[in-house]
Chain A
Amino acid sequence: MVKYLLLLATLVLTACQHSPETPLYQRLGGEAGVEKIVDGVLYGIEHDQSIVHHFADTDVPRFRRLLIEQFCELSGGPCKYTGVSMQESHTGFQITQAHFDALVNHLITAMQQQQVPVEAQNEFLAMLAPMYKDVVYR
């Protein structure tokens, strides 16, 4: 029994030692990677008739900078998001579930193009998915 507990404790400790893995920000490709992902998303939006109208009055360079800041901060990078809250920035835009789905598809495409490992993609999507309630039907 004692032996078993010792073995278990060793296993748990070993597992814990492995857990502080490479930060998500690095696995997204660091500064260059996050910029490319954001550019991929912007390209997707630009070519998507179903959502591009939401950005008709958007200052694109500023939007790009804020999105990079947000992705960087969320993934544990050395940045501070300086924009307003998600809820504030989306209220009144009548964003539907289809619009949100479209954006998620563009993000996935961008991450796939950057060959972000699927584990890192999922970890990032897990952080973004709960924003649905602050963005859609506001």
Chain B
Amino acid sequence: MKKILVGLCLMMASGSLMAGSKVIATGGATNIEGNSGGGIVPWASINGYSSSDEWSLNTFAGRVGVDDFTLNSFGVGASFNNQWELSLARQTLDLDTIGGELRQDILGIKYKVAGELLYTAMPQISVGVQFKKNRDFALPAAVGAGDDSGYEVYVAATKVFFDAVAGRNLLLNATVRSTDAHQTGLLGFGGQGVARELMFESSAVLLLNYNLALGTEFKQKPNQLGFADEQHWRDLFAAWFINKNASVVLGYVDLGDIAGLTEQTGFYLSVEGTW
């Protein structure tokens, strides 16, 4: 929490530092895995505000607090040419009721293949790869995970429709992810009888104006560890793009059952700085 507050203060104080040419909010927020997206879904958008031949850097800190778990994540990223995005994130899942913690690192690369979020009839389409590595594997191994590392490949299509709902712009996103991760990798990867599966994720975001947006997301999840059911995730969020250097996302999340503890719901707070 302290990290989030310190980050927010720094960004508020930063005023209008250098930022790229892209239109405000078009870099998206940074999701819990460290890449440009909503709260839990990666989008085709490229993080930050670097347009053609421009660079940008970003950093984020986020916290998800549900009934029996707390997930803290933070990370850094760099983008170039509104085409390449590189990100590094560290997640710590505190098992508040069970005791202990599960940590993992995520290295992400995203490449824009086609389309322009605002300007083409075709949605912006990006492909991404995430390499994930557990830093705590005793518990995942004990519950049946086979590997302490894994990779996920995803394709995302995202488009902003101008003047779509009550004169407001609407962002729609669809993502397909290939994964063999359990609980996004926090409970490890693979294992006996575990297959790589394709999962569907989606987001709908209404941009109330240039700075405020309301969104909802759905994240389909596999359910391949025998010891406990894993369920799909959902969220509702409000995003505030203060300026091209700072944004805040506040959300409500429904993570379903986790490790046998049922109906995990709670709040999500994330702050991001971009330069």
Contacts and interface: CB of A to CB of B under 8 A. Distances in A.
Contact of B121 (A96, A123, A130): A130
Interface of A: 50, 96-102, 104-105, 108, 112, 117-120, 122-123, 125-126, 129-130, 132-133
B51 A97 contact: yes
Given A126-B162, A132-B119, A101 B168 contact: no
A105 B21 contact: yes
B136 to A, nearest CB: 43
Which DSSP category, helix, strand, loop or mixed, fits chain A's interface?
helix
B121 A108 contact: no
A96 B82 CA distance: 12
B192 to A, nearest CB: 49
A40 to B, nearest CB: 16
Given A105-B23, A119-B168, A122-B163, A98 B119 contact: no
- For the residues of B in contact with A, the DSSP-based class is loop
Given A122-B167, A123-B167, A98 B162 contact: no
A96 B54 CA distance: 11
B52 A97 contact: yes
Given A123-B162, A126-B163, A129-B118, A101 B169 contact: no
A24 to B, nearest CB: 10
Given A97-B52, A98-B51, A104-B23, A122 B169 contact: yes
Contacts of A120: 167
A54 B120 CA distance: 23
B166 interface: yes
Given A97-B116, A101-B23, A105-B21, A118 B168 contact: yes
A108 B116 contact: no
A51 B104 CA distance: 44
B120 A132 contact: yes
Q: Which 8 pairs of residues, A with B, have the shortest CB-CB distance?
A: A119-B167, A126-B162, A132-B119, A98-B51, A97-B52, A122-B163, A101-B21, A96-B52
A101 B51 contact: yes
Interface string B1-35: 00000000000000000001111000000000000
A132 B116 contact: yes
A118 to B, nearest CB: 5
A100 B119 contact: yes
A122 B54 CA distance: 26
A125 B162 contact: yes
A108 B119 contact: no
Nearest to A104: B23
A50 B21 contact: yes
